[in-house]
């Protein structure tokens, strides 16, 4: 059922957002127009779309970024926009090659602030070998826009696509590093608590130098990939299993989380699995290569990459299409994708 009004939860990356997208957008596009040219389209709702050209795929992605504060420990809106688009291309199995941006600014914004953000966006893209191909710039009257919105669209090339619908029973779930750092940092910033938790810093970064070697060496064994941004790890895993009837089982004790992040979120009563990361990937991989992939990630500098669980056939209808977590004391609990999001983080 389509709601009468749009709420913040509809942009939070959880159930409300996906219900709205499916009911308001996907349902209006006939099946024959959701996919084209032998690639990936609206029918998959993945991190990007792809069309086949010759023996390769042209992969495209687009996203809008807005965050408060614009500059936060570990990053700013500029690096967030560039990294998010680059990482979305990588999650599709593509080598990022180009980026375009659209910047919308509220009247009265300090030019010095805008300069910082654009320099950060450009330098981040260039550091990854990604060209800035063009863009758009608009100014809205004061009071009609809350600050700055940067939309970035990226293009990449893939020999083999990574499409999340290919996930299967037996796949091991790998995370490339500690989760929830970005979301915890933004929450602390918005609550004016950074002075009390000085160890917090966003993990925002492009993952090019880590994932391209993994894709080159193990691409055929990677069945799904996602950067757990809005909605966090919980949302990613729930999206993976909700439509295919599998169950995801993770072990909480194996999920890397920095002590400072866990203590801060515990204080607020927020589950780290529902909090965003901006420099982490979650992979579903063939069990034959899971340990090899983790070891390779370690050698590339991601020393806390870990196998945290697996995709299994449900042992009852109660857990079909659900995510379960093994607790430190051996019990099983459901991991839900939040309906109401934690504060907006990207």
Read off the CATH number of the domain in which 237 is found.
3.90.650.10
State the pLDDT at residue 318.
Answer: 93
Same domain, 225 and 150: no
Whether residue 23 is predicted with pLDDT greater than 90 in this model: the reply is no
Report pLDDT digits (tens) over 161-171. Answer: 999 989 999 99
Residues 159, 129: Cα–Cα separation, whole Å: 18
- β-strand partners of 206: none
How many domains does the chain contain in total?
Answer: 2
Confidence of residue 196 (pLDDT cuts 50, 70, 90): confident
Residues 184, 277: Cα–Cα separation, whole Å: 9
Dihedral (CA of 290, 291, 293, 294) sign = positive
How long is the chain?
Answer: 346
By residue range, what is the domain housing residue 136?
45-158
When pLDDT is averaged across residues 3-18 and rounded to a whole number, the result is 67
Confidence of residue 152 (pLDDT cuts 50, 70, 90): very high
Same domain, 206 and 298: yes
Please count the other Cβ atoms lying within 10 Å of the Cβ belonging to residue 218. Answer: 18
State the pLDDT at residue 97.
Answer: 98
Q: Give the chain's mean pLDDT.
A: 90
CATH number at residue 71: 3.30.1330.10
Whether residue 338 is predicted with pLDDT greater than 70 in this model: the reply is yes
State the pLDDT at residue 243.
Answer: 78
When pLDDT is averaged across residues 77-103 and rounded to a whole number, the result is 97
Give 18 or 223, the one with higher predicted confidence.
223
Whether residue 41 is predicted with pLDDT greater than 70 in this model: the reply is no
- Return the closest-CA partner of residue 125 out of 67, 85, 91, 73: 85
Within a domain: 340: no
Say which residues have a Cβ less than 8 Å from residue 197's Cβ, sequence separation at least 6.
Answer: 188, 260, 263, 264
Q: What does the block give as tokens for 160?
A: 């083999």
Within a domain: 342: no
State the pLDDT at residue 146.
Answer: 86
Same domain, 289 and 196: yes
State the pLDDT at residue 45.
Answer: 62
Same domain, 152 and 197: no
Within a domain: 27: no
Confidence of residue 30 (pLDDT cuts 50, 70, 90): low
State the pLDDT at residue 340.
Answer: 57
Within a domain: 256: yes
Within a domain: 321: yes
DSSP assignment letter at 60 = E
Whether residue 334 is predicted with pLDDT greater than 60 in this model: the reply is yes
Whether residue 215 is predicted with pLDDT greater than 90 in this model: the reply is yes
Please report, rounded to a whole number, the percentage of residues in the chain having pLDDT higher than 70: 86
When pLDDT is averaged across residues 218-231 and rounded to a whole number, the result is 95
State the pLDDT at residue 62.
Answer: 94
Range scoring the smallest mean pLDDT among 28-42, 244-258, 270-284: 28-42
When pLDDT is averaged across residues 217-230 and rounded to a whole number, the result is 95
Within a domain: 37: no
Domain edge (last residue) among 100, 124, 158: 158
Residues 164, 226: Cα–Cα separation, whole Å: 8
Range scoring the smallest mean pLDDT among 36-50, 175-189, 232-246: 36-50
**Chain-centroid distance, C-alpha 83:** 10
Alpha helices in 258-327 (DSSP H): 259-268, 290-299
When pLDDT is averaged across residues 252-274 and rounded to a whole number, the result is 95
Give 43 or 334, the one with higher predicted confidence.
334
Whether residue 32 is predicted with pLDDT greater than 80 in this model: the reply is no
């Amino acid at each position: 059922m389509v709601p009468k009004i749009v709420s913040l939860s509809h942009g939070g990356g959880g159930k409300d957002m996906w219900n709205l997208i499916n009911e308001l957008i996907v349902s209006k596009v006939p099946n024959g127009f959701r996919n084209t040219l032998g690639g990936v389209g609206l029918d998959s709702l993945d991190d990007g779309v792809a069309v086949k050209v010759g023996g390769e795929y042209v992969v495209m992605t687009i996203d809008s970024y807005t965050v408060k504060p614009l500059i936060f420990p570990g990053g700013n809106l500029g690096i967030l926009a560039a990294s998010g688009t680059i990482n979305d291309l990588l999650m599709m199995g593509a080598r990022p090659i180009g980026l375009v941006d659209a910047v919308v600014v509220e009247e009265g914004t300090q030019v010095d602030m805008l300069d910082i953000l654009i320099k950060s966006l450009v330098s981040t893209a260039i550091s990854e070998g990604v060209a800035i191909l063009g863009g758009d710039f608009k100014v809205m009257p004061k009071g009609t826009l809350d600050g700055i919105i940067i939309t970035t669209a990226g293009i990449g090339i893939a020999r083999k696509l990574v499409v999340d619908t290919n996930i299967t029973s037996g796949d091991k779930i790998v995370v490339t590093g500690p989760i929830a750092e970005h979301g915890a940092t933004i929450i602390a910033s918005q609550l004016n608590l950074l002075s009390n938790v000085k160890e917090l810093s966003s993990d925002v970064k492009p993952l090019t130098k880590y994932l391209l070697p993994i894709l080159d060496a193990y691409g055929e064994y990677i069945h799904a990939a996602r950067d757990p941004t809005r909605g966090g790890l919980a949302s990613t895993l729930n999206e993976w299993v909700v439509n295919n009837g599998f169950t995801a089982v993770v072990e909480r004790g194996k999920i890397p989380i920095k002590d400072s992040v866990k203590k801060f979120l515990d204080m607020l009563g927020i589950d780290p699995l529902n909090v965003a990361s901006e420099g982490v990937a979650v992979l579903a991989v063939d069990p034959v290569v899971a340990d090899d992939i983790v070891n390779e990630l370690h050698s590339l500098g991601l020393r806390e990459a870990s196998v945290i669980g697996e995709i299994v056939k449900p042992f009852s209808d109660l857990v079909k299409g659900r995510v379960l977590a093994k607790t430190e004391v051996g019990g099983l609990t459901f991991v839900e994708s939040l309906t109401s999001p934690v504060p907006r983080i990207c």
